[in-house]
Amino acid sequence: MYLSRFLSIHALWVTVSSVMQPYPLVWGHYDVCKTQIYTEEGKVWDYMACQPESTDMTKYLKVKLDPPDITCGDPPETFCAMGNPYMCNNECDASTPELAHPPELMFDFEGRHPSTFWQSATWKEYPKPLQVNITLSWSKTIELTDNIVITFESGRPDQMILEKSLDYGRTWQPYQYYATDCLDAFHMDPKSVKDLSQHTVLEIICTEEYSTGYMTNSKIIHFEIKDRFAFFAGPWLRNMASLYGQLDTTKKLRDFFTVTDLRIRLLRPAVGEIFVDELHLARYFYAISDIKVHGRCKCNLHATVCVYDNSKLTCECEHNTTGPDCGKCKKNYQGRPWSPGSYLPIPKGTANTCIPSISSIGTNVCDNELLHCQNGGTCHNNVRCLCPAAYTGILCEKLRCEEAGSCGSDSGQGAPPPGSPALLLLAAVLGTASPLLF
């Protein structure tokens, strides 16, 4: 009786859990770069693909506005309340903290009331276009892992373009177009992400889904990352192996979710009508209360830690790699060409470690665990043994006097006997036919 009740409760819990968790708690985080394991040969390092955790990347960005004087408040001006063009007693004044709306308020903590937000100057120079570029820069390659979300305090713009750069702002490509009328604004047929597929996921679309002016609950604009992931991983992102396989083998797909900079181009404010009300231009402006960008440092699956120091993000590289993105092999570890890690096979992936340039003697010259330096030598950075004065050789296995031909009975130094452990180990490492040749 108790067993059957327990099984019923367990089955109910499994069902409820599956409904309550639309996305898996763990996709294969790849949060460890190496671990020690025991084999028949003893203790060895097991290397695996690894990456930093996804986080809120707005903590690390720099923001730039163009034109630079587009923020309201200098000089002070009044603007109309949203949804009521005749209530124009709100003030923006950059010299008064309570009335200022600087750019950093797009990234501060939300949840306070009244909400904080950045705001542009009003459209007082109509019919000259009111246009603003908001550039978000990381000075580091990042990989997007969740939707980009922009929350407007004003109405959502009638026309907007989200752009990306992969070369630190030198060149730009469109990510998505937004308009109340895509055909009129950008000569594009309107689409949504739901109209895409695995084969068209990289298509740049114009959507009318997020450009509906003053309507209630219409403050948010999305760029849908997870919906695009779902074309490969399924609607609840449960088949991450499929997505990881595509990211591994399709550079264009991998690059699509990778950026160094984002640019929000605000081209026309929310009008809410067919014609601009020239008698109440103070009702037209842009105001953004929050921007969310979730992602991780791109470390090419060679690091789990990304350090923010001196206003700069840098990967703490493993697998004998180096560089801001772990994009090359360290000095003395160029025994084979550098390669990024691989997500597959799940769950550990493939590390593709860089190996020493002296590749004929194995992955490590020494490691103080399996390949020991002999005769009191110490291992330096896995590259060479630091030998005592009387010894030389890759593993400190030879007497220095042997090279000079001065070893003798009166020197106090004798050669190690044939078949000694030092010579046998060296022969095994170097692939020498017989230690008796030394």
**Across-strand partners of 315?**
306
- Place 272 in a pLDDT band, splitting at 50, 70 and 90: confident
Higher pLDDT among residues 264 and 210, named by residue = 264
pLDDT of residue 111: 58
pLDDT of residue 265: 98
Report phi then psi at 278, rounded to 5. Answer: -70, -15
DSSP 116: P
Of how many residues is the chain composed? 438
Find the mean pLDDT for residues 153-162: 93
Residues 6+ apart with CB under 8 A from 222: 147, 148, 149, 150, 210
Distance (Å, rounded) from C-alpha 137 to C-alpha 278?
Answer: 36
DSSP 33: S
pLDDT of residue 4: 52
Name the residue with tokens 């120079």: 125
Distance (Å, rounded) from C-alpha 222 to C-alpha 162?
Answer: 10
Find the mean pLDDT for residues 303-320: 95
- Place 92 in a pLDDT band, splitting at 50, 70 and 90: very high
Average the pLDDT over each of 38-42, 52-56, 96-100 and give the range with the smallest value.
38-42
Distance (Å, rounded) from C-alpha 55 to C-alpha 51?
Answer: 12
Predicted confidence (pLDDT) at residue 394 exceeds the cutoff of 80:
no
Distance (Å, rounded) from C-alpha 159 to C-alpha 208?
Answer: 9
Predicted confidence (pLDDT) at residue 415 exceeds the cutoff of 90:
no
* Percentage of residues in the chain having pLDDT higher than 90: 57
Q: Is 402 helix (H, G, I), strand (E, B) or coil?
A: helix
CA–CA–CA angle 431, 433, 438 (5° rounding): 100
- Place 365 in a pLDDT band, splitting at 50, 70 and 90: low
Distance (Å, rounded) from C-alpha 114 to C-alpha 110?
Answer: 10
Name the residue with tokens 């695995």: 198
| Count of CB atoms situated within 10 Å of the CB of 332 | 16
pTM, to two decimals: 0.76
- Place 422 in a pLDDT band, splitting at 50, 70 and 90: very low
Predicted confidence (pLDDT) at residue 27 exceeds the cutoff of 60:
no
What is the rounded end-to-end Cα distance, in angstroms, of the chain? 78
* Listed ranges 148-152, 386-390, 403-407; the one with the highest mean pLDDT: 148-152
Predicted confidence (pLDDT) at residue 361 exceeds the cutoff of 60:
no
**Across-strand partners of 176?**
162
- Place 215 in a pLDDT band, splitting at 50, 70 and 90: low
Per the CB < 8 A criterion, the answer to whether 342 and 361 are in contact is: no
Distance (Å, rounded) from C-alpha 351 to C-alpha 332?
Answer: 18
Higher pLDDT among residues 113 and 233, named by residue = 233
394, with CB counted inside 10 A (0-12, 13-18, 19+), is buried
Which domains does the chain carry? Answer: 27-52+299-360 (2.10.25.10), 55-295 (2.60.120.260)
65 φ/ψ sector (left φ>0, alpha ψ -120 to 50, else beta): beta
Give 3-state DSSP helix, strand, coil % of the chain, rounded to 5: 20, 25, 55
C-alpha Rg value of the chain to the nearest Å: 31
* Percentage of residues in the chain having pLDDT higher than 70: 79
DSSP 29: -
Distance (Å, rounded) from C-alpha 261 to C-alpha 163?
Answer: 8
Which helix (DSSP H) or strand (DSSP E) does residue 261 occupy? strand 258-268
> What is Dmax (Cα atoms) for the chain?
110
pLDDT of residue 277: 87
**Across-strand partners of 161?**
177, 265
Query: Measuring CA to CA, how many Å separate 425 from each of 22, 108, 345?
Result: 55, 61, 34
Higher pLDDT among residues 170 and 424, named by residue = 170
Find the mean pLDDT for residues 237-241: 85
Q: Is 45 helix (H, G, I), strand (E, B) or coil?
A: strand
- Place 139 in a pLDDT band, splitting at 50, 70 and 90: very high
Distance (Å, rounded) from C-alpha 330 to C-alpha 323?
Answer: 9
77, with CB counted inside 10 A (0-12, 13-18, 19+), is middle
pLDDT of residue 52: 96
* Listed ranges 42-56, 365-379, 396-410; the one with the highest mean pLDDT: 42-56
Find the mean pLDDT for residues 134-153: 96
Least Cα distance to 438 among 406, 393, 408, 384 occurs for 393
Distance (Å, rounded) from C-alpha 380 to C-alpha 247?
Answer: 37
Higher pLDDT among residues 42 and 343, named by residue = 343
Report phi then psi at 354, rounded to 5. Answer: -80, 140
- Place 136 in a pLDDT band, splitting at 50, 70 and 90: very high
Higher pLDDT among residues 422 and 31, named by residue = 31
Predicted confidence (pLDDT) at residue 353 exceeds the cutoff of 60:
yes
Cis peptide before 340 (omega within 30 of 0): no
pLDDT of residue 170: 97
pLDDT of residue 252: 95
Predicted confidence (pLDDT) at residue 3 exceeds the cutoff of 70:
no
- Place 143 in a pLDDT band, splitting at 50, 70 and 90: very high
Distance (Å, rounded) from C-alpha 164 to C-alpha 174?
Answer: 6
Average the pLDDT over each of 44-48, 190-194, 210-214, 274-278 and give the range with the smallest value.
210-214
* Listed ranges 8-22, 88-102, 105-119; the one with the highest mean pLDDT: 88-102
Which helix (DSSP H) or strand (DSSP E) does residue 2 occupy? helix 2-20
| Count of CB atoms situated within 10 Å of the CB of 19 | 8
Mean residue pLDDT across the chain? 83
Residues 6+ apart with CB under 8 A from 198: 231, 232
